[in-house]
Amino acid sequence: MTLQQRVESAIEQATGQAARFSTSRIAHGGCINDSRIIDLKDGRQFFLKSHPRARHFPGMFSSEFEALRRLSDADAIRVPAPVACGEEFIVMEAFQEGPPCADWQQQTGRQLAHLHQATVHVQFGFDFDNYLGTTPQPNLWTDDWLSFWRDQRLGWQLELYSRKRGSDRELIHLTERLLNRLDVYLGDVDEPAVLLHGDLWSGNAASDDSGRPVIFDPASYYGHREAEIGMMRMFGGFGPQCEAAYAEVWPLPPGSDERISLYRLYHEFNHLNLFGHGYYRSCVSTIQRLL
């Protein structure tokens, strides 16, 4: 079967209606994947993401399907509802993009806070491992947030980096020092785990045809809510109005700025591992500021 036939079959099984492609066109979204809007002959429209080397990333689309389902079920912020998936593709609801409404930033902040409040969990982690970009992201259930962040986030990124650049002592030594002092920053965190989008930068957010926020392309897990903001601050796009609106619903406790820098470091490290030396100084600078 061709990819088209597999996608048609998956939509049929998920919806109970025959599915035959009419047209497809390249779409924005999912920068590491081929993304398309597909129109069916019966007038229905879906968003399709596929990856030609998906066999090298087992579970990539099934884990995204489950993350989208849980984010959507929270009914706090709009997320494209997942429809079907296979080893090399995921099909989800298509939405029409439009210009953001005047209070898009505030809506986004408030709705993220409501999402976090609605998804409290007793442990940190997820039902299965997933991916941050194409980096495997371990999510073993853990009772203790400090241990989770040390072992499955920063420690994991350091391990990946060490495999590639074992001779680089500066960054490895600095990160090891930071890992040994994590209790300074995370030892007093006394908040429940919540469902995170996990990779929320401006490229993974948009507005629908009513101007309302939409978020997509998650790398979800249950974690400390401030970790969401670490990625949001990395590339901009979510300004002070967004964070202030979040804090109106669920204020951040003292010490949040240092912790958010620590959470941002995870994404800086991931970009270093994915894209190379251009992110090296960013990682070093962040660690030096924290130390």
Q: How confident is the model at residue 54 (pLDDT cuts 50, 70, 90)?
A: confident
pLDDT of residue 210 exceeding 60, the answer is yes
Partner residues linked to 124 by β-bridges:
142
Residue 146 main-chain phi, psi, to 5 deg = -60, -45
- The percent of residues above 90 in pLDDT, for the chain, comes to 88
Check: CB of residue 109 under 8 Å from CB of residue 243: yes
Query: How far out from the chain centre does Cα 228 lie?
Result: 8
Helical H segments across the chain, by residue range: 3-15, 60-73, 104-118, 145-149, 155-164, 169-180, 182-186, 226-232, 240-249, 256-275, 280-290
239-270: pLDDT as tens digits: 999 999 999 999 999 999 999 999 999 999 99
Q: How confident is the model at residue 30 (pLDDT cuts 50, 70, 90)?
A: low
For the range 267-273, what are the long-range contacts, defined as Cβ-Cβ under 8 Å and sequence gap of 24 or more?
A: 267/132, 267/199, 267/230, 267/231, 267/234, 268/234, 269/154, 269/157, 269/158, 269/161, 269/175, 270/132, 270/133, 270/135, 270/157, 272/161, 273/135, 273/157, 273/160, 273/161, 273/164
Query: How far out from the chain centre does Cα 127 lie?
Result: 15
pLDDT value at residue 136: 97
pLDDT of residue 217 exceeding 70, the answer is yes
pTM of the shown model: 0.95
Q: What are the angstrom distances between the C-alpha of 185 and each of 125, 190, 197? A: 19, 12, 22
Check: CB of residue 25 under 8 Å from CB of residue 36: yes
Check: CB of residue 230 under 8 Å from CB of residue 262: yes
Strand 45-50 relative to strand 135-137, pairing: unpaired
CA distance 67 to 215: 12
Rg of the chain over Cα atoms, rounded to whole angstroms, equals 20
CA distance 137 to 235: 21
Q: What are the angstrom distances between the C-alpha of 218 and each of 1, 78, 88, 102? A: 29, 13, 17, 25
Check: CB of residue 116 under 8 Å from CB of residue 227: no
Strand 89-93 relative to strand 21-26, pairing: unpaired
Catalytic residue positions?
A: 199
Give, in degrees to the nearest 5, the angle at Cα 119 between 118 and 120: 105
CA distance 10 to 139: 28
Q: How confident is the model at residue 81 (pLDDT cuts 50, 70, 90)?
A: very high
Partner residues linked to 78 by β-bridges:
214
pLDDT of residue 274 exceeding 80, the answer is yes
Q: Which uninterrupted H or E stretch holds 45?
A: strand 45-50
pLDDT value at residue 31: 58
CA distance 204 to 218: 8
